[in-house]
Amino acid sequence: MKTFWLRRLCLGLLLAMGLGAAHALAPADALAVADGDLSERVAAVQRLAASRDPRAAELIRALADERVKFAGDRVYIVNGDAATDALTGQPATLPPEAQDAMLNNRLRGALEPALAALDLADPSPARQTEAARTLQRSAFDNPDPAQLPMLDAALATELPAAARRALELARAAVLLASDEPAQRLQAAEQLGAARQAAVRPLLEQRLNEEPSAPVKAAIKASLASLDRSLAISSAIGQAFTGISLGSILLLAALGLAITYGLMGVINMAHGELIMIGAYATWLVQQAFQRWLPGGFDWYLLAAMPVAFAASALVGAAMERTVIRFLYGRPLETLLATWGISLVLMQAVRSLFGAQNVGVENPAWMSGGLTVLGDLSLPWNRLFIIAFALAVLAAVALLIGRTRLGLFVRGVTQNRPIASCMGVNTARIDTWAFALGSGIAGLAGCALSQIGNVGPDLGQGYIVDSFMVVVLGGVGQLAGTVYAALGLGLLNKFLEGWAGAVLAKIAVLVFIIVFIQKRPQGIFAMKGRSAET
């Protein structure tokens, strides 16, 4: 067994040596890169980029940095005051008559894909994928059959799936400009199946120039298939954006559904409770960056309970000191909570400054999930949707299946009878208000992952939150869910048709008309509380 593996190792070493010898940088190639006819220099750069020779790679990178000189038949790479021989890499004395290897726009355009092809040898999958996408863009902008050896050499190596797809599309774009009709036909079919918007201009341009009837028919079929795929992709993208917005509205309105829907308190400081949760998340991030940098990717898990607790404590303090004396007086409650919101905003400005602060996404929330060609669903948005569903399930379980939820429902439906049954209604009010405020803090934690955090963060969600609660039906969690998702979808689909401002106006008009026709909202409250 040991003999078998020893033979395999020796064979691998011999093959590696053979490949190195086959791809060694030749003096003629080095000189062709540095001096001569421009077309020959471009061809030499492309040929050397496909060779995978380390000396050739160093020469190409040096040429891109304008650090190449030549004298006679020798080429030098200059590093400050020192110089090395481009063929051997050994230190060399730069002759006085050495000339600079000149660059122009055409040669720089050839160096960009050549450098990207060299980056494909990088061990980082992210770097390989970015290099492959650079090659794809270059092939789409200027399909040159001379790039085929470079692309074929890259495709023969181990690559991430995303990088391989990009290189295959780049190769198809180059073959679309081939002199062989069969190759153009295959390339047209492959590009049509890519489901990427960037492919369309390439196919349209080729359609106007294509002399072959079968290839032209294939291009037309690919364009039709591509248009259908792009339409489906656009609809899915808009639906996802609408659901994402709906999940954000749901998180923002869920706490208000308790404080306003169940308790009847018009809390104009609800947006500032969201803001407090976002700042609590930022503080946890700062703590991890300073004291636990190795566990930074998990700071969000620690920030969630901190954001909930911070907002819940502020909400409980509000209820104990101000709101409990204003139950049954909606106008005074509205004015008092509006004043509290101003105080909270100014307090945050005094503590953290008026400028926005940035909250970074953990590594596992960066990037996105690619579906249907180039449609990408960001991981942070997907996380917020899942988080909103989890919070909703927890609130529904708490209200419907726990002792606290039973007391909250009892006090909401009939406070005097609940008090007669021994329920401490004042304590339940505090717990319920703290719960609603804590959920607002969780909303702030989620919102910090999709934008900057500032003192005015909550102002953008307070009106929408009230609209969601009123539209869904006061006191109805199910109505809050339907209203949040419905408004999110309606708003995003109208944006694509009429623009953001007109979409907002149309949604507001729709809510006004709906409330006029059905004042109780989507779901009407049942029981004695509906009669009072």
List Cβ neighbours of 285 (8 Å cut-off, separation of 6 or more): 296, 299, 303, 359, 360
Is residue 181 within 8 Å of residue 173, measured between CB atoms? no
Strand ranges (DSSP E) for 179-272? none
User: In a 3-state reduction of DSSP, which class is residue 103?
Assistant: coil
Amino acid at 132: A
pLDDT at site 36: 83
Give the chain's domains with CATH numbers.
Answer: 21-200 (no CATH), 233-354+384-527 (1.10.3470)
pLDDT at site 116: 87
pLDDT higher for 315 or 158?
315
- Which of 123-132, 325-334, 342-351, 450-459 has the highest mean predicted lDDT (pLDDT)? 342-351
Residues 112-129 pLDDT 10s: 888 888 888 888 888 888
Residues 121-173 pLDDT 10s: 888 888 888 888 888 888 888 888 878 888 888 888 888 888 898 889 999 99
> Residue 375 forms beta bridges with which residues?
371
> Quick check: pTM over 0.85?
no
pLDDT at site 383: 93
> Is the pLDDT at 8 greater than 50, yes or no?
no
Alpha helices in 52-82 (DSSP H): 54-64
Question: Would you place residue 532 in the very low, low, confident or very high pLDDT band (cuts 50, 70, 90)?
Answer: very low
Place of tokens 């989890």: 390
List Cβ neighbours of 485 (8 Å cut-off, separation of 6 or more): 242, 243, 246, 247, 250
Q: What does pLDDT average to over the chain?
A: 85
> Is the pLDDT at 54 greater than 50, yes or no?
yes
- In angstroms, the CA 85 to CA 90 distance is 6
At residue 85, φ and ψ (nearest 5 deg) are -75, 130
> Residue 71 forms beta bridges with which residues?
74
- In angstroms, the CA 298 to CA 362 distance is 7
Helix, strand, coil % over all residues of the chain, rounded to 5:
75, 5, 20
Can you tell me the mean pLDDT for 319-336?
90
